[in-house]
């Protein structure tokens, strides 16, 4: 047996008597992923999954850290142990299984080295499986904007999104994801019908049957009406060739899952770009009216409330409801009273950048021709909407589009069905992406209290924060706290709100102060789908977000992370139902130290936001 281990985490590999490859993941010496199969299946040739012998094993230990230009923390530990297992089958075909163990968990990757007997190939599916103990629970999600359903692993159905969370029957959690997806088909998780309590990798097609007009889960208009959906897709490869990493974030308790997002970045290619001075995270306001007047109002609102960007959403270059949405985005909609370049100029005078929404029906044919023009206009970046995901060719398209935007000094927000797998390390101009059920759907408090344990381990998520809209299913204090819970270096504020919706509510100062990138992020306590408490630091100031599901509860927030040498002023924003205001958010201040413990009674779907500043 070959093992890579780091701290409490390890991943092991062995061959059975038939030369089949099995791996196991352990936490504190106990199996959390039971012996599970590995292998690749090809079109027009025998599978690469059995009759193996191990020809060589190499191991290395790496100790180090790197500094991202932005993130959830100022420094990322990338220490790990790696074991590379070289195997060869009876036909003389060679493959490597790369095993890694980090502080956050473990990972594995297939690598096919250059060789005569396996040069060009088509992967039709993987044997990669995930076996769990009887009684394990899973959080099943269909579509990137779907709702989570908790069920036994053996009862999982359909094509499930990643990250995919599993709770073990005794104790502990496993979060399955992928990292380094740049030239491969997207992984979805499906039930293995041939083994008990076992899941497996599915190389997905476009929509996998998940989209319907009555059940919008993020796939929307990623296919034209004349295009056919697909359930599965193949991967074309040429040796040397590496698959994405299959990752396992491990935790003894649910709260340990919070803010564990390092591994997906560590397993992605480092940034090689030299000039990233144009990459500037910030808060943004959407202009829904798309007129010169409304744009000026949005820019002035951003200045007053310390936001950095205005987004012109869909429709600025033509109606997205038209029969042919592939309108050339190198123009302004002649039917709108929108002087875009005048607005961009006004924004620059005020220090506010402009982002433009570009639907994939316009980006696919016109991106190359549009980028130099948009750069000349002076915009800050683009939001790519309804991009195609799943098959390898569209994985490549997204990476290529992001690279081209970098070449023109433009930031990117990728929307709809795309979920991150570490691309923002390679191209930091990807500030954020959707791939989340956010306030476009006005999700429940149970959904919100699931996201920080599952979705955000993949990376940033553009949740599109709302505040004044009456369709919200949570309290306003809950929404204030979501500004901390949600990590997104381009944070969309007041998504369905307009500047005129603000009537001087004082608590908005919390969103005015809050950063979008951090020097330190800590998960304090919580349970998946019940409640979550996260603390984040920028310089010497701390922000705490505490959100609750529909069940009222009492919580305690220890402040042990504060600097022992300082006293702090804690500004607390909380639900006060008896207040005669439309938002019913009370504000109070208390003096605290690292030995303080704050106690709160959280109402149904409520929350608390806290700003701590050294005195």
For residue 40, give the 3-state DSSP assignment.
Answer: strand
What's the chain's Rg over C-alpha atoms? 24
DSSP structural state of residue 486: S
For residue 337, give the 3-state DSSP assignment.
Answer: coil
Distance spanning both ends of the chain, measured CA to CA: 56
Residue whose structure tokens are 């993987």: 126
Distant-in-sequence contacts of 41-44, Cβ < 8 A, 24+ apart: 41/123, 41/124, 41/125, 41/126, 41/127, 42/121, 42/122, 42/123, 42/124, 43/121, 43/122, 43/124, 43/234, 44/122
Q: List the chain domain ranges.
A: 2-266
Q: Give the pLDDT band of residue 333 (cuts 50, 70, 90).
A: confident
- Round to whole Å and give the CA distance between 172 and 183: 33
Q: What is the mean pLDDT of the chain?
A: 96
Residue whose structure tokens are 């897709």: 233
Tally helices (H) and strands (E) across the chain.
9, 37
pLDDT at 215 over 90: no
Cis amide bond preceding 527, omega within 30? no
Q: Give the pLDDT band of residue 315 (cuts 50, 70, 90).
A: confident
pLDDT at 320 over 90: no
Query: What is the tens place of the pLDDT at every residue in 147-164?
Result: 999 999 999 999 999 999
Task: Give me the DSSP letters along 136-171.
Answer: -EEEEE-STTPPEEEEEGGG--S-B-SSEEEE-SSS
Q: Are strands 490-493 and 430-433 parallel, antiparallel or unpaired?
A: unpaired
DSSP structural state of residue 278: T
Distances (CA, A) of 159 to 97, 232, 234, 315, 410: 26, 11, 16, 32, 34
Query: What is the tens place of the pLDDT at every residue in 346-388?
Result: 999 999 999 999 999 999 999 999 999 999 999 999 999 999 9
Which structure tokens are listed for 25? 């993941």
CATH architecture of 2-266: Distorted Sandwich (2.70)
Query: What is the tens place of the pLDDT at every residue in 477-487?
Result: 999 999 999 99
pLDDT at 225 over 80: no
């Amino acid at each position: 047996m070959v093992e890579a281990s780091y701290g409490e985490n390890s991943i092991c590999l062995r061959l059975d008597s038939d030369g089949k490859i099995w791996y196991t993941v352990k936490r504190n010496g106990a199996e959390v992923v039971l012996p599970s199969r590995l292998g690749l299946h090809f079109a027009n040739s025998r599978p690469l999954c059995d009759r193996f012998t191990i020809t060589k094993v190499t191991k290395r230990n790496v100790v180090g850290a790197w500094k991202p230009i932005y993130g959830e923390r100022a420094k990322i530990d990338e220490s790990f142990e790696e074991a590379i297992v070289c195997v060869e089958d009876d036909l003389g075909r060679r493959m490597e299984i790369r095993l890694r163990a980090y502080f956050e968990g473990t990972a594995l990757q297939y690598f096919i080295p250059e060789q005569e007997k396996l040069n060009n190939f088509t992967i039709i599916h993987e044997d990669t499986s995930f076996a769990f103990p009887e009684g394990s629970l899973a959080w099943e999600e269909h579509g990137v904007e779907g709702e989570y359903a908790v069920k036994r692993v053996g009862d999982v159905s359909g094509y499930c999104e990643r990250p995919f969370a599993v709770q073990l029957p005794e104790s502990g959690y496993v979060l399955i994801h992928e990292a380094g997806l740049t030239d491969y088909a997207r992984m979805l998780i499906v039930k293995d019908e041939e083994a008990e309590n076992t899941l497996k990798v599915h190389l997905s097609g476009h929509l996998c049957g998940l989209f319907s007009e009555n059940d919008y889960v993020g796939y929307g208009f990623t296919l034209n009406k004349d295009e056919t959906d697909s359930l599965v897709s193949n991967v074309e490869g040429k040796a040397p060739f590496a698959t994405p990493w299959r990752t396992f974030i491990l935790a003894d308790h649910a709260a340990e899952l919070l803010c564990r997002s390092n591994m997906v970045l560590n397993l992605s290619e480092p940034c090689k770009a030299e000039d990233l001075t144009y990459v500037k995270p910030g808060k943004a306001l959407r202009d829904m009216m798309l007129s010169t007047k409304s744009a000026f109002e949005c820019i002035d609102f951003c200045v007053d409330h310390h936001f950095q960007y205005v987004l012109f959403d869909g429709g600025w270059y033509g109606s997205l409801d038209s029969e042919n949405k592939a309108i050339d985005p190198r123009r302004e909609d002649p039917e709108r009273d929108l002087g875009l370049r005048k607005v961009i100029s006004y924004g620059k005078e005020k220090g506010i950048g402009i982002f433009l929404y570009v639907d994939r029906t316009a980006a696919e044919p016109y991106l190359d021709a549009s980028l130099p023009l948009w750069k000349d206009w002076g915009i800050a970046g683009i939001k790519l909407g309804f991009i195609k995901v799943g098959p390898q060719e569209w994985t490549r398209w997204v990476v290529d589009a992001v690279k081209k935007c970098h070449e023109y000094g433009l930031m990117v927000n990728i929307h709809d069905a795309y979920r991150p797998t570490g691309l923002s390390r390679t191209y930091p101009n990807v500030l954020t992406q959707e791939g989340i059920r956010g306030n476009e759907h006005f999700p429940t408090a149970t959904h919100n209290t699931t996201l920080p344990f599952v979705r955000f381990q993949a990376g940033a998520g553009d949740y599109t924060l709302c505040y004044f809209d009456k369709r919200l299913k949570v309290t306003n204090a809950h929404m204030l706290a979501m500004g901390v819970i949600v990590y997104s270096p381009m944070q969309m504020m007041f998504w369905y709100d307009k500047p005129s919706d603000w009537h001087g509510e004082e608590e908005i100062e919390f969103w005015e102060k809050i950063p979008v990138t951090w020097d330190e992020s800590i998960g304090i306590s919580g349970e998946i789908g019940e409640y979550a408490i996260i603390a984040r630091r920028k310089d010497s100031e701390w922000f705490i977000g505490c959100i609750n599901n529909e069940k009222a509860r009492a919580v305690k927030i220890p402040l042990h992370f504060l600097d022992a040498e300082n006293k702090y002023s804690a500004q607390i924003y909380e639900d006060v139902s008896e207040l005669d205001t439309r938002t019913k958010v009370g504000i109070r201040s208390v003096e605290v130290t690292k030995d303080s413990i704050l106690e709160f009674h959280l109402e149904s779907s409520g929350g608390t936001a806290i700003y701590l500043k050294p005195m």
